[in-house]
Amino acid sequence: MKTRALLASFALLAAGTTLPTYHAYADTPKKSSKTDIYDESLDGAKQITDAMVVAKKENKRILLQFGANWCGWCHRLHDLFKKNASIATKLKAGYVVVLIDVNKDHNQATNAKYGSPTRYGLPVIVILAADGTLLTTKDTNTFEENGAHSPQKVLQFLTDWTPKK
């Protein structure tokens, strides 16, 4: 199966078709025409420390979304988080969302601290307890359905990891 997928990828490349940048880093990624969602100047460790203060105070989990501004799938997931009312409500009620930029190995130490989740590709989600303890890592390609992230799968994942109040 993997060989077939690899051969199909080579065939697409030979035909001049470009593949999405979801599962690999490009040496010179193309800048997305969309508005940046990741602040490339922020330190991921500080972002998480700040999120822990809020999460402890509000009894929430921390959702880390590792990604990069050039990543189309990162923008799709971010849009789903914002535009789907059920998902947005679930996130607001149970999570402190932190967007961790990993463009060109930025925040590499933060990535390593949580088990190098970016090895799965981008975007990837890590859920932390309010005290910063790693609870789970989610390869977001498992959310994909018909060329998009399935709102039902995303909502089920968030529901499964929302803290009990």
Q: Which residues on neighbouring strands pair with residue 25, listed in sequence order?
A: none
Residue 70's domain comprises 21-161
CATH code at position 147:
3.40.30.10
Give the whole-number percent of the chain exceeding pLDDT 90.
Answer: 77
Whole-Å CA distances, 40 to 50, 104, 120, 128: 17, 10, 21, 22
Choice between 37 and 16, residue whose per-residue pLDDT is larger: 37
Q: Indicate the pairing of strand 144-145 with strand 124-128.
A: unpaired
Is 3 among the domain residues?
Answer: no
Instruction: With respect to residue 124, please indicate whether it lies within any of the assigned structural domains.
Output: yes
Q: What backbone torsions phi and psi does residue 112 show, to the nearest 5 degrees? A: -65, -40
pTM (whole model) above 0.85? no
Least Cα distance to 80 among 70, 95, 90 occurs for: 90
- On the question of pLDDT at 138 being above 90, the answer is yes
> What is the tens place of the pLDDT at every residue in 111-125?
999 999 999 999 999
The domain tally of the chain equals 1
Query: How does pLDDT run across 68-120, given as a tens digit for each residue?
Result: 999 999 999 999 999 999 999 999 999 999 999 999 999 999 999 999 999 99
Q: Domain for residue 8, yes or no?
A: no
How does DSSP classify residue 88? Answer: H
Task: Give phi and psi for 62, each to the nearest 5.
Answer: -110, 125
Residue range 154-159: mean pLDDT, rounded: 98
Strand partners, 136: 127
